[in-house]
């Protein structure tokens, strides 16, 4: 299909996929996102056309090199940048409490190197390569009390600084200056950044200079992109972007944003958006300076409907979409021969640690997750089922549980100090089928035993899993399989099917 102006729908990557960064190699595009407390970390996507993306792997897969056991909710690994230089892919990001690191790979779908730790503070690091040199910038402040973007030349193979650190820009005063990237375009060095905090006042600002070291002058119509004053409220919180040119010469920006499920709330978290850019008087321009759900740009392929996703338990290896809380315990899981076995842990979803919980990101507001499993609890408190989790304090569970009165099917809701049993009834043994139908405002729970038709048991509001209710939450809802016990048990969860699909 030839290139032409086409409509497409945002976000281009749906669900919890914040802080996008992108690079192009020929006509191939690679994109990474923050992963926070989830492992494996930093999902990597591939596309040939900018609007249809496939996850091809994860950059962080070595638990011994990336300790996440003690990170808090919304901690861990965030704000990656991906760049390509002389046949090698570079990803740099921040690991909470440890600092900034660089990892490399010749194949972004394959294995990545051990981390190299960079001698530079701040967060949201970025790499820029030019004439055999590598430059590294973060939001490290070199002057107490000031917000700054700082840069140094580095040895990208060792993380060693090759120059002093210098302040190159102080933003426009929006607060929370972060997410810098440097580009060289038509004789100018452009610096892009985010300001305003990552919620409703988020924005993308820009400056330029003839020298990479500055001084940088601010764009006269900063911010170049923000939905802070968008009265339609279809898209909010836009910011943290990466500018790039496609192989036809058109300019775009990938950035985060949120869609609203109810009022000003979202439970999916921050998603990846694509917005076209044109140039005016030497500056990038976004139409109306805001992102929209239905956009139009110079594309060369139509946007496809999302593909169905079903876990393939005939394979021992996990599909790249699976994630776990912090560093998972390998002995808790066994897969192959058409099934996945989960062994209970005494660590619960509320503990802020690494429970037995294998999940995927919720793919859209309108979606459906279903599973089939066998679980024969042995002791009181043994339970297994589906969890919808935003954080350790905010999650819903739909499970089979052993109580002194027998085995029951239970739906429980937890939101900070609020706890409600929304449904509880006896359940017979057999192959238990659980289904959760998701919409903007509700989760609806269904079950079946063996081959009898599904029965609806209850609904639960999405409100109490929204990022705005949870507070300082940088993630989004994930849905997965879990099992827990109050002590040693012979019980285990044998999963025969798991799927997570948009409706």
Q: In sequence order, which residues have a C-beta less than 8 Å from that of residue 156 and are 6 or more positions away?
A: 90, 102, 116, 127, 129, 134, 136
Residue 78 · residue 33 · CB < 8 Å? no
Active-site hit among 19, 73, 148, 412: 19
Q: Which residues of 338-352 are buried (b: 16+ CB within 10 A; e: fewer)?
A: ebbbbbbbebbbeeb
Each of the 503 residues of the chain gets a pLDDT tens digit; together they read: 568 899 999 999 999 999 999 999 999 999 999 999 999 999 999 999 999 999 999 999 999 999 999 999 999 999 999 999 999 999 999 999 999 999 999 999 999 999 999 999 999 999 999 999 999 999 999 999 999 999 999 999 999 999 999 999 999 999 999 999 999 999 999 999 999 999 999 999 999 999 999 999 999 999 999 999 999 999 999 999 999 999 999 999 999 999 999 988 999 999 999 999 999 999 999 999 999 999 999 999 999 999 899 999 999 999 999 999 999 998 999 999 999 999 999 999 999 999 999 999 999 999 999 999 999 999 999 999 999 999 999 999 999 999 999 999 999 999 999 999 999 999 999 999 999 999 999 999 999 999 899 999 999 999 999 999 999 899 999 999 999 999 999 999 999 999 999 98
Residue 135 · residue 151 · CB < 8 Å? yes
In this prediction, residue 2 carries a pLDDT of 65
Q: For the CA atoms of 212, 218, 221, 224, what is the dihedral angle to 10 degrees?
A: 50
pTM here? 0.97
In this prediction, residue 227 carries a pLDDT of 97
In this prediction, residue 459 carries a pLDDT of 98
In this prediction, residue 311 carries a pLDDT of 97
19 is catalytic: yes
Residue 161: name the closest of 210, 121, 216 by CA. Answer: 121
Cα 89 to the center of its chain, rounded Å: 20
- 3-state secondary structure at position 351: helix
How far apart are alpha carbons 197 and 80 in whole angstroms? 17
Report the chain's terminal Cα–Cα distance, integer Å: 28
Greatest distance between any 2 Cα atoms in the chain: 75
124 is catalytic: no
Active-site hit among 153, 178, 242, 370: 178
Cα within 13 Å of Cα(59), Cβ side: 31
In this prediction, residue 358 carries a pLDDT of 98
Residue 285 · residue 279 · CB < 8 Å? yes
């Amino acid at each position: 299909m030839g290139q032409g102006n086409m409509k497409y729908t945002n976000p281009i990557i749906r669900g919890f996929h914040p802080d996008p960064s992108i690079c192009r190699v020929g006509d191939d595009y690679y994109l990474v996102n923050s992963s926070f407390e989830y492992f494996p970390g930093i999902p990597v996507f591939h596309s040939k056309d900018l609007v249809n993306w496939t996850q091809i792997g994860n950059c962080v897969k070595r638990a011994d090199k990336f300790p996440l056991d003690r990170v808090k909710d919304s901690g861990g690994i965030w704000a990656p940048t991906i760049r390509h230089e002389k046949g090698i892919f570079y990803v740099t990001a921040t690991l909470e409490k440890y600092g900034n690191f660089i990892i490399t790979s010749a194949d972004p779908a394959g294995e990545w190197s051990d981390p190299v730790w960079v001698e530079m503070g701040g967060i949201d690091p970025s790499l820029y390569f030019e004439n055999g040199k590598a430059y590294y910038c973060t939001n490290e402040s070199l002057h107490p009390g000031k917000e700054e973007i700082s840069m140094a030349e580095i040895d990208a193979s060792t993380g060693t600084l090759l120059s002093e650190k210098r302040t190159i820009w102080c933003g426009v005063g929006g607060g929370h200056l972060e997410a810098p990237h440097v580009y060289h375009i038509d004789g100018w060095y452009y610096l892009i950044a985010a300001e305003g905090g990552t919620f409703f006042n988020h924005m993308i600002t820009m400056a330029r200079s003839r020298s990479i070291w500055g001084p940088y002058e601010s764009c006269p119509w900063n911010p170049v992109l923000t939905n802070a004053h968008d009265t339609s409220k279809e898209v909010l919180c836009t910011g943290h972007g990466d500018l790039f040119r496609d192989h036809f010469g058109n300019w775009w920006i990938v950035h985060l944003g949120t869609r609203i499920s109810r009022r000003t709330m979202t439970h999916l978290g921050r998603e990846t958006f694509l917005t076209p850019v044109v140039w005016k008087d030497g500056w990038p321009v976004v139409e109306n300076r805001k992102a929209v759900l239905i956009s139009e740009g110079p594309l060369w392929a139509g946007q496809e409907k999302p593909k169905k996703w079903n876990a393939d338990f005939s394979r021992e290896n996990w599909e790249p979409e699976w994630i776990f809380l912090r560093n998972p315990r390998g002995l808790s899981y066994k897969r192959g021969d058409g099934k996945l076995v989960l062994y209970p842990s005494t660590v619960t979803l509320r503990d802020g640690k690494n429970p037995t919980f294998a999940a995927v990101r919720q793919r859209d507001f309108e979606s459906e997750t279903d599973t089939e499993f066998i679980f024969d609890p042995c002791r009181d408190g043994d339970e297994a089922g589906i969890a919808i989790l935003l954080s350790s304090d905010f999650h819903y569970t739909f499970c089979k549980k052993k109580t002194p009165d027998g085995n029951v099917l239970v739906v429980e809701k937890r939101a900070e100090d609020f706890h409600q049993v929304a449904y509880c009834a006896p359940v017979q043994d057999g192959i238990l089928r659980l289904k959760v139908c998701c919409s903007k405002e509700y989760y609806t729970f269904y079950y079946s035993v063996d081959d009898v038709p599904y029965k609806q048991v209850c609904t639960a509001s999405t409100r109490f899993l929204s990022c705005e209710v949870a507070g300082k939450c940088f993630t989004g809802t994930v849905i997965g399989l879990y099992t827990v016990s109050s002590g040693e048990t012979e019980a285990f969860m044998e999963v025969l099917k798991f799927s997570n699909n948009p409706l």
